[in-house]
Structure 1
Amino acid sequence: MALHDYCVKCGSRHCRPMATGRTSTTKGFQDERYRVLIGMLVAARKSAGLSQGALADLLHRHQQFVSRYETGERRLDVVEFVDIARALAIDPAAAVSGVSPASTE
């Protein structure tokens, strides 16, 4: 257990941290650059007036697929990102080229 991990229940460093479920701060959403890309997809979907279900239909996927990547429960791979961007009339290369370089901390 890392020094910064605390028990959710009692706040002690001696207890094991409790699982709190997946949220937007889980593995897929830790990188701000990834959150920006997903936020762009969400904004484009809403701006196009599409529900999650309507976008899922365009992608031949279930609505839960869209919900899960939008909330960070599921991480997109490159091919999925390209398919979603094109379905939303976004140039995937232009979207990715706008991503800032990784921090060197």
Structure 2
Amino acid sequence: MAKTLSTARHRALIALLIAKREAAGLTQSELAAKLGEYQSFVARLESGQRRVDVVEFLELAGLLGFDPHQVIDQLSRVEE
């Protein structure tokens, strides 16, 4: 399996997570607090330095108020 960091799908996921966080009116620090993490954890996710695992993705969906099924469907259509 090829590396996934910096792929078109990974960049699309990161852009979506940033947009959802901003739409929720949260700073990186506020989201990190809700996740029980440090701000640097969110910064690494949003800068593309770290992958988002499935469990984290589902938690982010709940906190940021988006449907994870819709996002997966949307990401599956992104051309690599």
What range is the shorter-chain TM-score in?
A: 0.7 to 0.9
Residue 64 (structure 1) aligned with residue 40 (structure 2): yes
* Aligned residue among 84, 88, 93 for 2:64: 88
Identity, % of aligned positions: 40
Structure whose alpha-carbon radius of gyration is higher: 1
Moved over 2 A (4+): none
Residue 38 (structure 1) aligned with residue 14 (structure 2): yes
Deviation at 1:101, TM superposition (A): 5.9
Deviation at 1:83, TM superposition (A): 0.9
Q: What RMSD over aligned residues (CA atoms) do the two structures have, in Å?
A: 1.8
TM-score (norm 2): 0.84
TM-score (norm 1): 0.66
Residue-by-residue CA offset, 1:55-82 (whole Å, 9 max, x unaligned): 0111111111100010011111111111
Deviation at 1:27, TM superposition (A): 5.6
Contact 2:61 2:68 in 1 (8 A): yes
Q: Taking CA–CA contacts closer than 8 Å with sequence separation of 6 or more, which of the two structures ends up with the larger relative contact order?
A: 2
Count of paired positions: 77
Residue-by-residue CA offset, 1:34-62 (whole Å, 9 max, x unaligned): 11111111001111110000001111111
